[in-house]
Structure 1
Amino acid sequence: MFLTMKKITSIVFGIISIAFVSCGNKQQVSAEQMADSTHFAELTYIEDFYDAGTVHSGEIVKHSFEFKNTGNIPLVIKDIIPSCGCTKVDVTQKTLKPGEKAKLIVEFNSKGWFGSQYKSVTLRTNGVIREKSATLKVNVVQ
């Protein structure tokens, strides 16, 4: 069976038509998503870096990082990810209404560590930027 040039042209035209229709649907979805982009959650740290100075090995350093929801829908903390097992973490609140503040509590056990240490904690949220970190710096001496 041989296809005539007219049949080949019809098939190609049909494929191109389907592609254009599909692209049109994607643009409509994007327009709907853009219309909904006025509703968002956003985690904003009041302070995202803290230098605890110098401590002796074995001391525990504790600091609270304050943050707030600067978006206009509830912010949900989905996960708290410390960069090291030597760091305990907690948050005072896992769901924040727009404008509400909470604290990320970081506790670093310096036992066995020496020199400049940077310990980060990442909060994974439903925010515009899904992951944001705060960092604790400590200089550990004997």
Structure 2
Amino acid sequence: MKKILLVCAVILGFAFSASAQDSDKPVFKFNEEKHDFGKIPQGTPVTTVFEYTNVGKQPLIVTDVRPTCGCTIADYTKTPVKSGEKGTIKITYNAAVAAPFNKGIVVTSNASIPQKTLNIVGEVVAKSAGTGTK
């Protein structure tokens, strides 16, 4: 019984020391993590900017921003974002196919949670053929 208590105490000690180290790490605070474009016309690319603030103590470094499909292009702040400062992730969606969409963008960084997924959603509507038929 004493061995079990000792093992539990050691495990708790490691857990607390690990969480204390994480408290110094950078932390994302996004203005939004999901953007709804609503209805957009087919063939017209749309862009949104996800703005974030580093609310952690150390500089935040985004190492990769990877859209989950080739129809989405990402650009982002590549310099370290100091504590209290802002950075951006610009996402452009190519609205080529008329259909609803829900796309994820995986952000990798040195933050306390190293991967975060942002989402863009909406519906691409076909341009009318102009034939006058209903």
- In structure 1, the residue matched to 2:83 is 98
Taking structure 1 as the reference length, the TM-score comes to 0.73
Does the 8 Å contact 2:31/2:51 carry over to 1? yes
Letter in 2 for 1:109: N
CA distance 1:31–1:67, change in 2 (3 Å): closer
Q: Distance in 2 between matches of 1:39 and 1:127?
A: 10
* Alignment partner of 1:43 out of 23, 28, 31: 28
TM-score (structure 2 length as normaliser): 0.77
- The answer to which structure has the higher helix fraction is 1
Letter in 2 for 1:64: V
Structure 2 CA distance for partners of 1:40 and 1:114, relative to 1, 3 Å: same
State the partner residue of 2:62.
77
Larger radius of gyration: 1
**Contact 1:93–1:103, Cα closer than 8 Å, also in 2:** no
Residue aligning to 1:88: 73
Question: What is the identity, as a one-letter code, of the residue corresponding to 1:53?
Answer: G
Answer with 132-141 or 58-67: which moved more.
132-141
2:49 is matched with which residue: 64, 67, 74?
64
Detail structure 1 runs of 4+ shifted over 2 Å in the superposition: 22-38
SS of equivalent to 1:132: strand
The one-letter amino acid paired with 2:103 is K
- Structure 1 position 116 matched with structure 2 position 107: no
Whole-angstrom CA distance in 1 between matches of 2:46 and 2:116: 21
Q: CA deviation at 1:29?
A: 5.6
Contact 2:61–2:78, Cα closer than 8 Å, also in 1: no
- SS class of match (1:75): coil
Q: Where does the alignment leave 5 or more consecutive residues of structure 2 unmatched?
A: 1-6, 127-134
CA RMSD of aligned residues (A): 2.4
In 2, Cα distance between equivalents of 1:137 and 1:35: 37
